[in-house]
Amino acid sequence: MSLPRRIAPWLMGAALVACSGNPPTTGPAPSPPAPIVAEAPTGPATRGPDKPTAPIDLTLEARPVAGTATVDRFEVVMNATPRRDLDRVELAIDGQPATVATATAGALGVARATVEVPRGEGRDVVGTAVVVVDGKRMGRAAQVRIGAPAAAAPAGTIIHLPDGTAVQEVRP
């Protein structure tokens, strides 16, 4: 019986090891290495710090302004209030840079932008603030819906049985 060439070398090596004339070693069998067990420290005293967030509060408001027959326009106003003195604050509305400045704690910063949406449609507009704290960049975001409200999410998955019956899957 011949074996394929790609299997034969492996079998040959195993056969040579099994047929070697070396007698088995005598004495106690070596003990297996001890398993490595790492336990995570628990409790508030040993837990690491929570992920830091940008020390700035954002609110976003939108109100309709004069549009055209095919486009609705909205003025989006973002209020940014730093909770501490910041070296650099970059505000943007809908991806468009609005302001870059330094800020003191509690000073209200306002950014405005006009955003268009096709008449009868709607979308979410995101306002972002990127701040530099101790040489590290941190961000925060807020969003507001403009135009038509978002479509309701489906309540569940609809499954069609072989007989054509539609059944809605319900999960808690």
Q: Which residue has the higher pLDDT, 14 or 65?
A: 65
**171 located within any domain:** no
Domain span including residue 115: 56-147
**95 located within any domain:** yes
Count up the domains in the chain and report the number: 1
Q: Where residue 41 falls among pLDDT bands split at 50, 70, 90? A: very low
Question: What is the C-alpha separation between 131 and 54, in angstroms, rounded?
Answer: 7
Q: Which residue has the higher pLDDT, 30 or 112?
A: 112
**132 located within any domain:** yes
**127 located within any domain:** yes
Residue percentage of the chain with pLDDT more than 70: 68
**62 located within any domain:** yes
Taking only the tens place, the pLDDT of each residue in 28-38 is 666 655 543 43
**93 located within any domain:** yes
Q: Which residues contact 85 (CB under 8 A, 6 or more apart)?
A: 102, 103, 104, 105
Question: What is the C-alpha separation between 16 and 38, in angstroms, rounded?
Answer: 41
**51 located within any domain:** no
> Are 90 and 41 a contacting pair, CB within 8 Å?
no
CATH code assigned at 94 = 2.60.40.10
**136 located within any domain:** yes
Q: Where residue 73 falls among pLDDT bands split at 50, 70, 90? A: very high
Mean per-residue pLDDT, 66-79: 89
**What integer pLDDT is reported at residue 127 of this predicted model?**
93
Residue percentage of the chain with pLDDT more than 90: 34
